[in-house]
Structure formats: structure tokens, C-alpha cells
Structure 1
């Protein structure tokens, strides 16, 4: 019984625990409803020494019964696993982890929730970006989807499904979604600038910026784009401008916070023909890269005031490598967005964002599409412009328990 275990280790616990852990455990048992505010204050204020506080904590919880004692032992394991081991406690130890699921197993259709214990473990991990329950309340994301184009031949069938799926995923992760549909290149720029001034950015722990449209190397196209028309060929938004508006110099509210950029768009026509528009699977076709738009070019300026890196804590995930096409299904949407949703639903409860993106890429290893008119054509996503200095976990399900 857990209460008997606590009684046996009472003296060794009082000798080995430090005051910081005692206070953390008191916060934990208060949150668990084992003690009330008055009992917590009594333990801290009416006992002058650290050992007396520790004994009072053990005695108070032990009197609450076996279930309360078990919860305290579990909390101790999460707060100080070394002390837990030294005390020889058996209760509260997590079960042996299940074998890693294979990539070909059934994918989850909803987000698997993370555990409070996992979140608390990462909260004390200096190699992990801090995510608190308060910061989750302020999460915000920008979602831009171009579906209808002035050139009717370029309507992106299935893109409405991408918009629906991505909005559902982001909201389930606790993000308020700023959704924009069918924008010109200029309007995309204006939407990004407006988002860079969103009042929630100051308190959020992260942002997503998702843009889905036709594209080319270095840019996504606005809805008025038309190849062969000199004026309408200028209707595009340079992808690198996202960094200009969300970097340290222009958006200090996002300093030291992960900024996840997802681009679903072609970046060229290499390694495959454009699939016919009446096929079930099509590509977000694009013209040959404009040499004036060079991916990676940036005017880097020194920040003499803050001496903080201008571009920091970004990660960009594109649906295809530079110069190649991206594919989507008329009914189900793009494969890239489908795979992102499936991987995050299945693994976001325990994997950080870079590992999640790696698993999305892994899903494309055997990817190919074909029609009667063309040979097999392939696609592989591309993670680039990564300046994350720590691991970022999304902690799905924590939002629902706030």
C-alpha cells in the first residue's frame, strides 16, 4: 500500500529532500485536490525547518489514504527521480513504455493527448522551449489558403479540404486561427504584417504561419496570377518576406519563441510532368523559377541595440524540394497536409516539432502517383531555414485540461 510505503521512508525523505522540491510537491498535491490552501500554508509556515516541513507533508498526505499517497509518490518521481530511486519506492513508477509504433500502423484521426507528467518533465528541461498553461491560452496561428483563381484553369480542387484539416488541427492544439482565403500577393503581405502585430503574440509560446497556394521557387502566387500576362505575373508573395515581418527586428514579441512556417505550394517543375487537371491527383503547377527570386537571399542587418540574432527560432517546412512539384487529391487535399495531420495526431503527444517533420518526410519515402498519361512521379518535403535552439513540444490535450 502506498501510505505504508510513505510511512517507511518518512525519515529518509525528510533528510534527502530539498526545500524547492517540498514547495513543488505542495503545489502538486494542491492541484490534485489532496490538500487545500490552508493545509499547504500550515505546512510551510508552522514548521520552521526543512525536515519538519517534509515530515508534515508526508503525515498530511498519508492521513488522506492510499490513493493520495500514491499520487504523492508519483509526483515525487516526476520532481526528483533520483530521490525516488534512493528511497526505494515502487509505487508511482511509470509502466515500461510500449514499443514504438511502426510507421505502417493505423494513424490516429484525433490528437493523442500528452500527459501532465511529460509536460512537467519538459517544463524543467533547459533544452526545451517553455510552454505554460498561460502561454497555451494565448496561442495564435495564421492560415492562408488560395483556392479560387482568376484563371479558372488554376482552381485548386481539394484545397478547401486542406484548409479544413489544418484549421481543425491548429485549433485542437490550442491555437486561435486567423484564417484568410483567396488573397492576392499584396493581400498575403498585408495579412502577415497584420498578424505580426496580433495582441496575443506577447503572451504566446509559439506561432504557426501556414500558406497554401500555387507557387514557384521563392514565392507563392496570388489569386490574380496568370502566366504570360506581364502585369498579372507579378501577383506573388516572396516567402522570405515572412521572416522580414516576424524576425527580431520587426516583431520582438516573438523573440525566443518558435515560429513554425508551413508552405504547401510547388517550387518548380523538376523531376516530373504536370498532371492533367481532370485527374484525381494533380500538382500545384508552376512556371520555371524566376532568377530574380533567389531562395535564401536575405538582407541581414546588425541589431546593435539588442544584439539578438535577427532570424532566430524559425523552422520552415515546405511541401517539396526547390524546383519540384507538390501533389494533391481533388477530394482529400494535398498529400503533404494529410501527412502532417496524421503524424501530429499520432505522435505530437511525445515528439518535438523537428522529429514530427522528419516522420512526415519518412512517409514520402515510398510516395508515388501515376496516371495513364505519365510515369510515376514522386515528391519529398523539405525542412529548411531552421534556427530553433531548443526542442519544441506542442503538448496536445493540455489545452483541454486548462
Structure 2
């Protein structure tokens, strides 16, 4: 299998590929529809070294399966025969793009065929092409605080990465920056009335700030307040209240994906910036009786949600003061590589897996899936410039 061939030469390819070759392969694979524009840009813009670009490219292609891997091998043979031979890919049959079968028999499935096949699966949330053009997301990022000691240096990178990723997944982005707790609540309330929610197949809500166990902090938060003051905080529970069927019937039976980058407690200090609140931070009920059938029905008060929180309860989550938070970095990498292939729960699992080998030996962080009430699998069916990409 071509995918296995790429895996076997991955290390050598990362070591030997030049920047010029990577750009050529990206252009070729973009032309083939293997990669979309967002993925192409991700390889070039989100990796500072040639080796990192090569690693991102080959991992992204392998994740798309055998057909995509076959195409990359064929383009590598054409672009750099010497490296193709050096990697040992010239042994046996020369790699070629998957040929068109002239003999009678089953016709290979196209991207649209695969998409339609999944739509007939009762265990998968329906995703209609017309609905994809109405996708909408909410992105809230708190960076600058009234107490400047709480400023979240590097969060600009998180905001940019998430906006790019949401757009690559086909979502219009409703973006807010530097909100108080009340303003966050107002933004959620306004979002719950967005006209596109009637047509969208799903929503994504991303909130990034400092946090405590059950709240996200607003930009006016301060450690010491007077007895008659309320802390500037947004209760995370309000997300589910604003988007549940009672308050937002437009999202009934549609996946609601929540990502929260914020601490959930106080941990010990470190040289890395942490998203905590510590000042040491550097950087309607009805009677069931006598009800007749007149179009009245009950629905689950909370269903079709899935949330990924950046850490377990009572712990901190880490953020680099330049590169941004580890959670958002890993979400961006995993979604870019696997969003065409995996459902949302598997994507979240892959993100969590990245934290098993945390790059800071003395620190530990583990994201947590929370309040998951999805009853089916949800796939993004990522759009591309030329239609749907392979799933």
C-alpha cells in the first residue's frame, strides 16, 4: 500500500526534502484536490523549519489514505527522481497515480460518492451540501485584561490559528475579542439567534481566556473585590443554556461543538505562562396529565453537545508566550490532518493523545471531553476549492 510506503520512508523524507520540493509537491497535491488551500497554507505558514514542513506534509497526506499517498509518491518521482530513488521507492513497480480501470467492473468511488454513502448511515449526523454554505461559528478570545498582569501573551496566535481552522472547515466566523463576562454571555445569546442557525448542520463555539473550574474570566476580572461587587466571570454552563432546544430550537438535533481553552483551577507556578487567575501569572415544565396529541412533543433538554476543555478539573493549562496554547496548537494540527477522515470524537481523542508525550517534562496537562451527548458520529466533510475532498 502506498500509505505504508510513505510511512516507511517518512524519517528520510523529512531529513532530505528541500523547501523548493515541498512547495512543488504542495502545488501538485492542491491541483489534484488532495489538499485544500487552508491545508496547503498550513504546511507553509505554521512550520518554521523545512523539516517541520516536510513532516507536516507527509503526515497530512498519509492521513488521507492510500489514494492520496499514491499521488504524492508519483509527484515525488516526477519532481525529484534522485530523492525518489534514494528513498527506495524505485524498487519494484514505479509509483503511478491510481489508473483508470478500463475493464468492466465496479467504478471507483469519488469523493461525492463517499460523502453520499456516509449520509445514508443512520449512525452519522446528516450533512447536506446546501447546509455547509450556512455553517457558522463563534470565536471569543480574551487577550488584554484591565489588570495588565493577566494579559495572555501568545493568545493572538491562538486566535489566528482557530479563525483559520474554522474557515478551512467551512464556517463563517463570528469573532469577538476582549470581552467581560457579561459581554461573553451577551455574545452567546446573540449567536443563539443568528439567522444561519436554521440552515447550518452544526456549530462550533471556541472560548479562550483565563478560567476557574466552572467559569471563564472576563477582561475586568480582579483577584480582590469588595463585598458588593460581583466577579467578572462567565459561567460555562450558560453555553449549554443558550444553545439548548428551549432557547435555540434552530439547533435541535444538530451537533454543537464546544472548545474552551482556560484553566480550571490553580496549579503550581512555572516559567511558562499559564491560563489561570493567579496574580503570579507572567505573561418550561408542563403537567403530563391530560395532554392530547396536538403537535406537542418533548425533546431532550440537552443533547447533541460535545465539549473539549483544555485540562482536567482543578488544574492549569499551559500557553507559550509566543506560540500560544498547546491545546489550540494541537487542535489545529489534528484537524488539519484528520478532519476529512475522522469524526469529531476521534479528532478530540487524537488531540488528547498528543498530551501523553508532553514536551515539557516537568509539566502535565490533559484535555477533557465533557458533557458529550452526541448520539451519532459527526464528520465535517471538509470542503475544498473544487468541491468535497476525500473522506
TM, length-normalised to structure 2: 0.67
Moved over 6 A (4+): none
The answer to whether the 8 A contact 2:223-2:277 is kept is no
Superposed displacement of residue 369, structure 1 = 2.3
How does 1:252-267 map onto structure 2 within 5 Å? 252-267=249-264
Written as runs of structure 1 = structure 2, the 5 A alignment for 1:2-401 is 90-93=105-108, 115-230=111-226, 234-270=231-267, 273-275=268-270, 279=271, 281-286=272-277, 305-369=296-360, 376-398=362-384, 401=387
What's the Cα RMSD here? Answer: 2.4
Displacement, 1:377?
A: 1.4
Q: CA deviation at 1:301?
A: 5.6
Displacement after TM superposition at 1:232 (Å): 6.3
Distance 1:204 1:153, change over 3 A: same
Structure 2 distance, partners of 1:399, 1:302, is 49
Structure 2 residue matching 1:364: 3-state secondary structure? helix
Q: What is the CA distance between 1:90 and its match in structure 2?
A: 3.5
Q: Secondary structure at the match of 1:220?
A: strand
Distance verdict in 2 for CA 1:118–1:302, change over 3 Å:
farther
How many aligned residue pairs are there? Answer: 277
Structure 1 unaligned residues grouped into runs of 5+: 1-69, 74-87, 95-113, 289-299, 371-375
Distance (Å, rounded) in 1 between the aligned partners of 2:298 and 2:222: 43
Cα distance, 1:89 vs structure 2: 5.2
Shift of 1:123: 1.2
Between 324-333 and 195-204, report the one with greater CA deviation.
Answer: 324-333
TM-superposed deviation, 1:306:
2.7
Could you report, residue by residue, the CA deviation over 1:334-366 in whole angstroms, capped at 9, with x for unpaired residues? 000000010011111110000000000000011
Offset from partner CA, 1:183-224 (integer Å, 9 cap, x none): 000000000000000000000000001000000010000000
Q: TM-score, normalised by structure 1?
A: 0.65
Q: Secondary structure, in 3 states, of the residue corresponding to 1:215?
A: coil
Structure 2 CA distance, aligned partners of 1:232 and 1:159?
A: 28
